[in-house]
Every structure is written in C-alpha cells, then in structure tokens.
Structure 1
Amino acid sequence: MPVRRITFIILLCSCQIWGYSQNLAIDSLKRELKKNLPDTTRAKMLMQLAVLYETVDTSQSARIYEEAIRFARNKKLPFETANLYFNRSFLFQAAGKYDEALHSLDTALFFIDQSSHPNTAFKKAQIVSQLASVYKELNQYEISIEYHLQSNQLFEEINRPAGLITSLLNTAVLYKELQDYTRQEFYARKALSIARKTQNKDDLLIAYTYVAHALSEQDKVKDAKVYIDSAALYINNYHQNQPIALLNYYLIRGSIFLQLNKLDSSFQSFKKAYDLSQNQSAFGRYQSLLQMGNVRRKEKKFDEAEKYLLEALEGINKTGELAQKNIAFQYLADLYEDRGDTKKALEYYKKYKSISDSVASLKNKNLATSLEKKYESEKKEATIKWQQKQLENQKRLIYMLGITALLFATILLLSYRTYRQKQKIQQQRINELETEKELSAIKAVLKGEEQERTRLAKDLHDGLSGMLSGIKYTLQNIKGNLIMNPENQQALERSIDMLDNSIKEMRRIAHNMMPEVLVRYGLDTALKDYATEINKTGIIKVIYQSMEMEDKDMDQTTAITVFRIVQELLNNVIKHAQATEVLVQVFRQMSKLVINVEDNGKGFDVTLSKEMGGMGWKNIYSRVEMLKGSIDVHSAPDKGTFVSLELNIE
C-alpha cells in the first residue's frame, strides 16, 4: 500500500494565549476601555479584545468586531477600519463562512487604499495574502494563485522578508494541492533563500521544513531527510508561543520517517505533533491522529490503529473538511482490508472513492470556470483595445497638429528665454567688473595709505627720533658741565623728562603706524603685542585668544589689513564703549580667518550705526570688502557689543 501524503495548511501567525492568562488579558482590556482613550488606541484595544474572544466566545467576538468597526468608521480611521475587517475575516474563515470572509477582506482593501498610515503597504500585502487563502478554501485556485503572486510582489516591494517568506510558502502549499510539486519546491526554495539571507531562526525552521515537504511529495525521500534534519537545528530557538510551525515540522518529519519505513520514529513525531495541537489546532490534532493510526496499522496494531482513526473521523465530521475526511476513509479502508474485514473495508472504500471523485470534480470544475472567466475577460479586453486603437487613429492627425503647434511655441519660448539669459549674463558680468574695479580702487587706496604710514613711521623713527635723542644727550652733558642755581637745575631736568616722554610718544605713534613686530614675526605675535601694550596702560583689559595661527604663512598686505581691522575695532571700544573688558579671538578655518571681538560696554543701536557710522566703521567695512569677507555686528544699549568677521586670506 503506498504511503499517504499529508495535506498541510500554513498558519504563520502568532497563536492565541489560552486559559487563565487569556482571561487576565480580557479583563485588563475591559478595564482599560472604561478609561478616556485616544480614538486610535480605543479602536486597537477593541480589536485586541475581539481577537482574544475568538477562541473563548465567537458570538461575543463578532459583537465586539461590529462595535469596533462602527467606532472606527464614525471616527474616520481608515487604517484601523481596514485592520478590523482584515482580522474579522479570520473569524468567518474559521466558521467556514468564506463568502463573508471575502466580503470582509474586500472591504478591508477599500479602506486601506484610503489610508496614509506608515504601515499601509504592509497591511495591504497581508490582506491580499489572506484573500489568496480564502479563495483556496473555495477551491478557486486560479484566483488564489493570482492573489498569491500579487502578495509576493507587494511584500518584495516593501522589503518585508518575513512577510514575503510566509507568502511564498503559502504559494508553495497551493501548488501542492494542485499536485504541481515542481512549483511547490520552487517557491519553498525561494523562501529558504531569503531566510538564509536574513538568518532569522524562525524563518529558517519553517523554510527548511517546507522544502523537505516538497521533496517528499516527489518521493525524493533521502533529500527530504537532509532538509528536515537541517530544520531540526532551529527547533530549540523557535518561539514556543507560535506552535503551528512546530506542529507542521513534526507532521512532515513523521511523514518522511514513514516513507523511510522507520515506523517508531514516525509515530513519535506524529505523537509530538498531537501533543502540540491540543487546544491549538483542530486540523493538527485530527491529522496527527490519522497518521498515528496509519503507522499503527503498518505495525499490525489494529485495535490501537482503529481507535486513533475513529477518533479522528469523529472530529473531522464536526468540521466537514473533505480532504481530511477522504484520508480518514482511505486509512480505515486499508485498516479493515489488512484486518480481513472485507465488508467494512468495502464500505469505507466506497465512501473514500465518492469523496475523492467529488473533490477532484469540484477542483476541475472550479478551475475550468476560472479559466473560462479569464478567457471572457481577455476577449472583452481585446475588443476594448481594438476600439481604442480606432479612436487613436482618428485623433492622431489632431494630435500631430497640436504637437507641431506646441513645438513651434516651445521653440519661440526657448529662443526668448535664451535671449533674456544672455542679457542677464552680460549684465552680471558688467556688475562683476564694476565690483572688481571698486575693489581694485579700494586696494590701491589702502595700499597707498599703508605705504604712507610706513614712510612716516620710518621718518619718525629714523629721523626725528634720532634728532630728539641727540638733543636729550646734549642737554644731559650740559647738565653735568654747568653750574646752575637750583631753579635752573630743576627747569633743565623737567625739560629732559618732557623730551624723554616726547621720544616715547613718538616711538609709540611710529609703532602704531607700522608695528615692526608685524613685519618681523607675523600677525599673531603683532596682535598679542598690541593687546599687551593696551593692558599696560590700564585703560581696559584686553583678553587675546588665537588658534591655528602658529607658523601660518600670510601675505604681508593681508596681515596688515587684518591688523588694521582689529586695531580700529579696539580703538572704537576704548573711545566709545565705556567697557572694562574686551575679548579678541582670532582663528583659522581652512582658507578663512575668523575674528570675534566682544566687549561688556554700553552697546549701541546697530541700525543707527550703519546709517550714521563714522570713518572708523567705514574703514573697517572697506577693508572687509577688500578681503571679500563678511561682518556681523550684534549690539543693543546696555548689552555690550559682539562683532564677528569672516575673511578670505588665500
């Protein structure tokens, strides 16, 4: 007698929590729903409550679904409404109300297309996948295949590997029922390929299991054993609160051992499937009993086999599931034949043959109907396309004339835009040349000013300073050689002191006009020295900070320009700010120099300063413009002043 293969249903979803913990969840949700909740939260909690009641009280579950759907629709929550219709379809499907399930899923599609929720695409893929499952239950395999393929595409587009794996395995099972084992293996292996990339242990267990199933259906038992052993590697890591995949694993494992004639191992696998199916899956429970009975028949333990098979048949009669009833009748016919009870064997064989023929006829009839509908649809589409082509031929001349006119207008528009663009470019170039001319003039003026400063500083230092020092030396000699009365002696000493102060003041003026330290040691040292000199006067405290200024080569003209800007800013602080402290920060950023000057003085109105600024501010703005930089001034009465400059130094 050939080995009977098992019909499997993939239920890759979280299982319900049963018993006491479920009652606790129901009570908790009821308490929460008495509170004032946001609309979306209330809709989600009502759906959770309805799902929990599905396995406790289906009529109560249906009432809660109705209440939740009315609430979500009244509150205009399209995503939540779609999700409620989607979940309610499982309640209808479990009760065998497949038309109601289809209506619920079609409504779910309608609302999900109106949703802008982030998970809209994922939910739509789930709805399409469930539609495929319902059409399979209705034996409308052509439509089911189309929905499965659409579901696969949707999950792939949104990059949801777990959902795609589930959809691919559902597709594989559908082809198994159509006895197309090659395609069954193709989709199972495709799911396994994705699972290997994601390395999700749950997905690997499921995918290896269903590749093994596909191979066993093709009598490639040794290969199937390799894949079911690979699935066994992930058993210990599988989520135990989702036993459907484990149930299927043990059913398929038992079937493979049965094909290998390892009856004890086969029975133990079916027994584990039976234990897992308690309070979880009626299908798994009856299928386990059928296979346990079949194994015991092969072991010649006829009484035990009869017990298992009759118990399974009793349960199957309550569900009305034809595929399992057909297996039960066949196994009972085989049992009684082996036992020598030809009368009962013939009775159950007739029942098996009757259902087998009716199921095959039903599948062929529905498949033929689907193909006819598809043919009629394609015929109508061809007629519509022919009519559309005729209309296109009639309108083609009008379109060509319209396109010609549009092209002519476009050429005119482009020509006009090109002309205007050339004018703009020319004007922009003129403006740039004028700006460059102004900058050149500013540079020339500033350069001439610095050259004159340098000449005057040199003349003061080398000429007048030397002369005054000679006069001081002569007066000191006179003081030592002449005998004078005390009054003349005192007057001479005051004159020498005044001369000494004049020399120092002259040297300070010369230093400010062209600091020697700037030329010899660079900008950073010159600014530090300038700050130190101001601090010595006690007029104001200058805090100087610099970063990234060490050993940096800078054009001397640029360095002098920067020094003058800082010098003018500090002079403004000393003259006008009435500040006690000023912070100067100088640092480089790539090809830019950033300068920040901040004081704690009385501040001023920035708007008025721009409109009525003196020569000092004008000189600052001119030098900044020459360096193609920018200046930002922040100040207000009694709040101090902050000046930030960004200058191009390369």
Structure 2
Amino acid sequence: MPKLYQILLLLSFMLALVTPVAAQKGVAVVPPRNERAVDSLRRVFARHPHDTNGTKALVTLMFNFQYNDTAQGGRYGRQALRLAEEIGDRRRQARASYNLATLAAQRGQPDAAVRLHMYSAKQFLALGNSLWAGHNYANAAKRRANQGRYTEAMRLSLRGLRLRRAAHDTAAEADSYGAIGQIYLEQQNLPAAQTAYEQSLRGWQQMHVAPYVISCLNHLAIIHRDAGRFERARAYLAQGLAAARAQPDTSANGSLLLTLAVLEQRQNRWAASLPLLRRVEAAFEARDPGNVTPAAFADVYSIMGESLVQTGHAAAAAPYLAKALALARASHDRQEEVDALEGLADLAAARADYRGAFTYHRAMEVLKDTLRLAATTRTVAELQTQYETEQKEARNQVQAAQLRAQQQVIRRRSVQLWAGLAIAALLGGVGYLMYTRRRLRREIEFERERQQLQQQRAAAVLAAEEAERRRIGADLHDGVGQLLSVVKLNLSGLSEELGSRLNADEQGRFADALDVVDESVREVRDISHDLLPNALIKQGLARAVREFLDKLQRPGRLRIHLETLGLDAVRLAPGVEHALYRVVQEAVQNIVKHAHASEINLQLIRHATELTLLVEDNGVGFDTAALGPDAGLGLRNMATRVAYLGGELEFDSRPGRGTSITASVPLPA
C-alpha cells in the first residue's frame, strides 16, 4: 500500500472517530475545503466516469464535503460506491462505505451506520486489511452501545479488538478496551469494567496520549468509588489531576473535579464537595455553551443541589435542582431525571413540605421502575447470550478432549508396536503407557467435573429466568393490578355519586372508562398469570397446561385436544415441571403465530422411567433441514430446556404437511 494512501486512510479514520464526539459536545471540527482541488477532481471524474480513476476522484470528493456539506458528501459517496461495485473496485467499496457509515451516524441513523460498517469490514477483510476491518467493528459497536443494545455491542467490540490486535496497533487496541470498559460500566459490571480500563490505560500510556490517559484514570476512579474503594479512587484522581495540569485543555480537569466531588459526597463530606462543585460549575459555564451537553449541566446542577440541601442551604439548592430537572427532561436523560427528582424530594423534606416530597418521590419511583424493567429485559437477554456462548465453548472443549484422547490411543499403539523389538523398549513402552493412562484418567475425571459444572450453570440460568418471571409477574399483579383496581373503585364510586347529575352522553363516557379499566385489569392479570402460572405451582403440570390451552381455544377457528396420562395425581420435581411447561408454552405459541393451523393435538404421558411430550398440528409446516444453526430463538429455547433435563427433542415437519414435536425426558426412579 503506498505511503500516501496509508496516511489518507489514517486521517479519515481519526476524523471519523473525533468528529462525532466533537459534534456531540458542540465543537465545530470542519476540515477546510480546497475548492481548486474540488474542481480538479470533478474534471477527473468527468474524464473517467467508468474506471478506477473515477472512483478515486469520487471518494476524495466525498471526503472534501463530508464535514462541511454532508448532503453533497453523501451523494458523492453513494455514487462512488455504486461505481466501485460495478467495476469491482473493492478498495474504494471499503472506503466509500466506511465514510457513508460515518455520515449515517452524524445524521442519527445508527442502524444504517452499522449496516455500512459491516459491509466495509467485509471488503477490508477481503483485502487482507484487518486493522481497518477492526475500526469498522469498533465503530459499529459504539453505535449499538448508544442504543442500549449491549450484547450486540460487546460482540462487535470483541471482534474489533481481535482484528486490531492482529494488526499490532496499540492505539486501536487501547480504544477497543476503553469501549469494552464503558459497556461493562453501563451494566454496572465493575470488576470487568476495571480490567478493561486498566488495559486501555496501559496502551495509552505506552503511546503517551495524555487526554485518553486522563479519561482512563477518571473512569477507574469512578469504578473504585462506586465499589466503595475510596482511597484507590483518590489515588487515581490525584494522578489524573496531575496529568491534567500539564495540558492546555482544562475540560478534563472539570470531569476529574466532578468525580472527586461525588467521592466526597459518598463519604458524607458534603461541605468539602461544595468548593469542588463551584469550580466545576465555573469551568463549565466559562466554556462555549455548545461545548457542554444539557445532560452534563443537569448532572452538575443536581449534584450541587444535593450538597446544598445536605449542608442546610435549601434556598440556594432550589434553583439548581429545578434547572437540573428541566435540562434532564429536555435531553431525555432518564437517569439524570431520577437524580434531579431525588434531590427535589430531599429539598421538600428539608422544608417540611412533606406533600411535595411525596409527589417528587413517587415520580422518581415510577421512573425507576421503568428503568428497572428495561434493565431486567436486557439482563435476561444477556443471560441467554452468555449461556449460549458457554455452551459453544463447552462443545469446543469436549471436541478438544476427544482429539487428545485419540492422540493418546495412537501413541499407545505405536509404543506397543515397537515394544516387540527389545525388552528395554518394551519396558519403556509399558512405563510410558501406564503414565499416559493415568494422565488420561485424570483428564476424563476433569472433563466429567467440567460437564457437571456446565449442567449446574445451565440450571442456574434457567432458575434465574424463572425467578425473574415470578418477580415481574408478582410486581404486575401486586403493583399495577392493584392500582388499576383502585382506579376502577374510584370511578365506580364517582359514577354513583354523580349519577343523577350526568346526562346520557356523560354516563356513556363513564361506562366506557370503566370498560377500559376492566380490560386493563384483565390484560395485566393474563400477563401476570403467563409469567407466574399459579396452577403450575399449586396443582402441577397437567392442570397448568390445561388452563393455558383453555385460554387459546377459538371455537370455529382453532381446536385443541389435550391428553394426559399418569400426571393428574402425581407431581414432578419443580424444575422438571417448570421446564416442560415452558416447552409446551413455546411450542403452542409458535403454532398459533406461524403455523396457521386449525387443530392442535397435545399429549403428556408419564411412563415408569420417562415422560413423553407430543405436540402435533395441521398447519403449513416448515423445512427442518433448512433450520441449521440459525434456528429461531424459540426453537433453541425449547432444545435448551429439554437438554437441561437430559432429554431429547425431535422435529418432524414438511411444508404443507403440518408439524410434530416430540420430547422424551428421563424421570428419576
């Protein structure tokens, strides 16, 4: 690769990384545009509209317009990509799609940006350029992390890290570790975040890049502060402040002081936090307003307000907390809104305004519940992904153990073959054989223990999933359901009180409102019962399945036949009942959603040593050979649960001939 081309690629990458961040902070980073060069490039393209010189001119034109006329830059980029694909210019395909991804991110189109980054990564890998393929994966991971899709962001980050490490680029590797640390920090996985940021810090220190060194020190201080290791947090902050004093840009100093102020608050040193917060406030307000986001101001104001409340300056705290709440809502930052509401509740309590304190506290709890539900959803998805990853690693380890065992057998036979040549060789071979057999036995024992641990891990994941279902179902039933019931009682009472004074239209509106509340109560109850089936807990598998199927019956459209043998008077182990109930639930719901069936036959038959589940439908069917490793999440969940019980799951289906699902699960004697 020519040296000039390498320099242009590096400049393009640094701009792609720096400009979105600068734009977020309000900093206008606009490379100057050389109009004479633009005119020259246009003439080059006019002379070469269908060859490589034309694609080169278009890509360079796109770069000239990328940060000062994004619409024109996008047009040149799309034209360059089309021409590069037509003539098979893979290098320009890679570059144009990378820059188009950057433009999509600037326009707030993360899905389009990720799609273009993946396309660019594919082209760079085909060119043998692992470094720029890694840059694409790293940028795609940042887009997913900004969307809160942490599982996908982590997968992309790890792929980018491997590619950047293979290219031996220390700066890129340090950037990947920092992004991974941020993902772990967002999920409050402090040990993993600490490890990643320590790796990132070592890389930036090796490269002597002071701003990124200071950022890593600040994040490590936050991690140790949140973990309660206050002295270690202070040590990192001291290093960061010393490094920041040597830099002309004082923005990092404000972030470090803010971290230190929160550290003082965590240790109940409220008065000591105030001078630090005033320095942070002055530093933020002295800068160009476009350089600090509203969410950052909301964070500073809410922290300042809390310190003022705790030190008895309620009057001074009020405007800070009011501004914090307004800025948090304007920037749609829910966590900052929670902090502002908590500060306002403390302020109202300090003023003996207990009604206001209750109002703010209730609003804060509602918002916290919303955030907690979203976090729970992500956690379940993370557990599922982690479990599937561990399963794949376990299969790889089993294959490696089998390969080692085969190698041992080959070695042993070789020794036996040569043993007949001489007694000395025979004795040596026997000794070696005994040694290898002992080692193989140890390896087999180790493999057995590992498989047991894998089984326990799978059980823990499924148990955690069931526990989370129970918690969410109970919260819906006891929280939202009870609130809706209270609303219904109040509306009914109000309707009775106003009955004679309401005209027919108003009475009809009251009746409609009561109907909506009734429907909401039923909907919450159905969701709660699906997550926490009482029949399964109290009466066993057969009764729970029967109640579940009764809800799905559709006279004239869907007939469901259930047959249970040996289960009506017998309870199975709770883990077996829960797993089989979820398998039935997943299978029937898949039929209802996708099979377009009019009849379902379901059998649960308990034998002496095993339990058989059979689910048949007369729907459209599907091609089981086309499933492969990309089978849907529902089918994988069914297979995972049956495998956890030590059973076997089989699918028998053809397009147009319906589907049959059979599960056989061993039962303890």
Instruction: State which structure, 1 or 2, has the greater radius of gyration over its C-alpha atoms.
Output: 1
- Higher RCO, 1 vs 2 (CA within 8 Å, ≥6 residues apart): 1
